[in-house]
Amino acid sequence: MKKSLKFWDLVALEVGMTIGAGIFVYMPIAYKSAGVGAIVAFIFAFLPMAIIMINVMLLGSTLPTTGGTFKYGAFLFSPKAAFLGLWAYLFGAFVGLFPLNALALASYMKGIWDGISVLPVALIILAFFFAVNLLGLKMASIVEIVFVALLFVAIAIYTVPGMAKIDSRNLEGLFSKGLGSMVYASALLTFTFAGSNAVIELGGEVENPRRNLPLSVLLSLSIVLVCYLLMAIVSFGVGKEVMINGNLNDVASNYLNGFLFYVFAFGGPILAIATTINATYMWGTRSLLALCRLRVFPSKLGLVNKRGTPWVLLTIIWLLSSIMLLSVGESGLNLFATFASIGGIAVIVPTMFAVFRLKKNETLRKMAPAIVRRKLFIFIPILGVVFSIVIMLILLYQVGVDFSTSFFLFFIIWEVIGIIYFIFRLKYLNRMKDNPFAKDDLSAFDD
């Protein structure tokens, strides 16, 4: 594939993927749980996700490759664990992420154009960004840069005048809701920082990855945290009562009128969620493409068009997400959000274990950044493993608490089906003497 992504392409992609449905959907939910303590919860959520993304950065800069989410876990840790993580991500994508973003975007659009019907518009949104991504990665990244630029204008319109309207009394009692509520809100908000892991899916298409991958991740995470804190302080400081049953548009209506309100309403939540959908289409097929090339899935599923787009996989994601959206309907926003969070963290867990190989393998140690060769480095992957597993367990627990055990069992059954398929597929590949996981080298990372 072409090295078509430069530094600012990556920053735009990471920021666009991160500041999306998460902040505009999850902030009101976190507020209901932790109150104004959700401001602190953003910081608590940022810290473990920063450690997790540092681990991702180390792998991406050492072995830049397309489809890294699966490859790192499969070839540096365990093929079965990596497949289970990716299988969980597919569940989260089809049952959560894509329907969530489309439905949330359509709901915010209805706040501006009251006459629209949410479900049909959500389906049109999925189809539109499917078509954009069929035109190729470069076209999609150009759209992403434009959208992110407009997004920052909208955030400025929301935060700058909003600062002058803050009532400091609304920001009192940061810990008044208790530790348990703070922990849940923090776990929930980790999803809002999860976008930067997209870079390891596109590693093989990045110009100068050893420089651009780590720098872009660090810059994008810092930008995202500042934006979140400013938006949270304004949202809770101005619209404390509004946030109980409303959203950021309702807060903005307290101090924005006419043109400026519509600029924020369109350029804020609408563009933020749009950039998430576009970016997810961009990187969501890359691990699946890697699986096809490794013959885990039939190779025909990995066909690409003349623009380098894996159009078969892209089409499957679009169709299954649309079917799920039609099946559950407008009432499934919270359910979609929960499964999107589960899928997003589950796919990262095997990658965290893979980071240990950077220290143990002499070849990788020489290729990796200098920090890997330091004595205290071992604590970075240890913390990454602990944080990712704890977040995963909290989210799975909430599935049973907030919805029902049937949804939890549905997820478990999905995972069991996945591991059974993968075991039989490995046996088939062994009989054909074509099992890529039997090799103990790094050739799988040569794109």
Each residue's pLDDT tens digit, 343-358: 888 988 999 999 999 8
> What integer pLDDT is reported at residue 144 of this predicted model?
63
Give the span between the Cα atoms of 45 and 171, in whole angstroms.
19
Low-confidence ranges of the chain (pLDDT < 70): 1-4, 16-17, 20-21, 136-145, 197-204, 210, 241, 245, 283-284, 286-287, 402-404, 441, 447
Give the span between the Cα atoms of 233 and 210, in whole angstroms.
36
In whole angstroms, how far apart are CA 160 and each of 154, 226, 240?
10, 13, 18
CA 333 to mean position of chain CA atoms: 17
> What integer pLDDT is reported at residue 383 of this predicted model?
94
Sign for the pseudo-dihedral over CA of 165, 166, 169, 170: positive
Give the span between the Cα atoms of 354 and 377, in whole angstroms.
14
> What integer pLDDT is reported at residue 140 of this predicted model?
60
> What integer pLDDT is reported at residue 381 of this predicted model?
92
Give the span between the Cα atoms of 117 and 381, in whole angstroms.
47
Cβ neighbours of 246 (radius 10 Å): 14
Give the span between the Cα atoms of 32 and 111, in whole angstroms.
21
Q: Give the pLDDT confidence of 404-416 residue by residue, as tens digits.
A: 677 788 889 999 9
In whole angstroms, how far apart are CA 295 and each of 81, 167, 255, 434?
17, 59, 56, 8
Angle at 96 between CA 95 and CA 97, to 5 degrees: 130
Q: Where are the beta strands (DSSP E) in 132-187?
A: none
Query: Structure pTM?
Result: 0.80
